Amino acid sequence: MWLRNLLWLTPPILQSWLAILMLARGAHKRFRFFFAYTLFAIAAELTKFALLNPRKSTWAFFVTAWVCEGVYAILGFLAIYEVFGNVFENFHHLAWFKFLLPVTAAIMLGIAVLIPLVHPAVDTEPILEGILALQVTVRCLQLGVFFLIFLLARVFDLDYRQYAFGIAAGFGIAAAGILLSTLVRTGLGLKFLMYFKDVPFVAYCIAVTVWLVSFVRPEPEDLFRDFRHLFTPDLFLGRLQRYKQDVRGMFKP
């Protein structure tokens, strides 16, 4: 029992430290949604922990858990969208750049809609099926924005030690773990869920650790911030072509 309690309390303890670090670094002003997400996560996990008491209502815990998941999803998406804007704040004057995020979102929404059509949910009540479908949609969007951020950062040779990349990486890890478990639950049913039920918790613990490690050290100066206006579509396409050639070279005998 004490080990389970310790494991349950590990994320909110680490996130309390994270909130203190963000305040100390002044990062709560730049990443308001992520800071709000962190504070909400601390309160939500402590509330659910209190409801774990056997004398408490199981129904109250169930409702609280799913309401929290909904708020987590909304704040999580707003936080990673905030990160995207922070990393590429000087790129928005480029005509082609403003289409990247909507196109990525449309692709990931298409995937999220296609998943239940290809693999309908099994062993699932209609209400829970809707909740899980929303879970899949949000996690797909988070993963899409996560991959877009790191692809563009790779193309433009941006510094991965910036706080924004730590936040994005954490959300990517957490979203992947939750999405995997949700897909197993909806596609394979309850009998396979036992093998994956701890995946979201482990992924989230890793994500919190990534966030904490990112904010432990002072943020390095972004040497490219004042020069981003020099990037052009031709430069972007040229670098993208170079990376395509590098990838192809890796698979040639």
Q: What is the pTM of this model?
A: 0.78
Q: What is the pLDDT of residue 2?
A: 60
The segments of the chain whose pLDDT lies below 50 read 223-224, 226-231
- Here the tokens at position 124 are 């699932």
**pLDDT confidence of residue 50:** 83
CA 27 remoteness from chain centre: 18
Written in H, E and C, the secondary structure of 104-121 is HHHHHHHHHHHHHHHCCC
Q: Minimal CA–CA distance to 23: which of 40, 35, 14, 12?
A: 35
Quick one: pLDDT at residue 124?
65
Are 64 and 49 contacting, i.e. CB atoms less than 8 angstroms apart? no
Beta-carbon contacts of residue 52 (< 8 Å; ≥ 6 apart): 8, 61
Q: Determine the pLDDT at residue 217.
A: 86
Q: What is the pLDDT of residue 248?
A: 62
Q: What is the pLDDT of residue 237?
A: 56
pLDDT of residue 224: 47
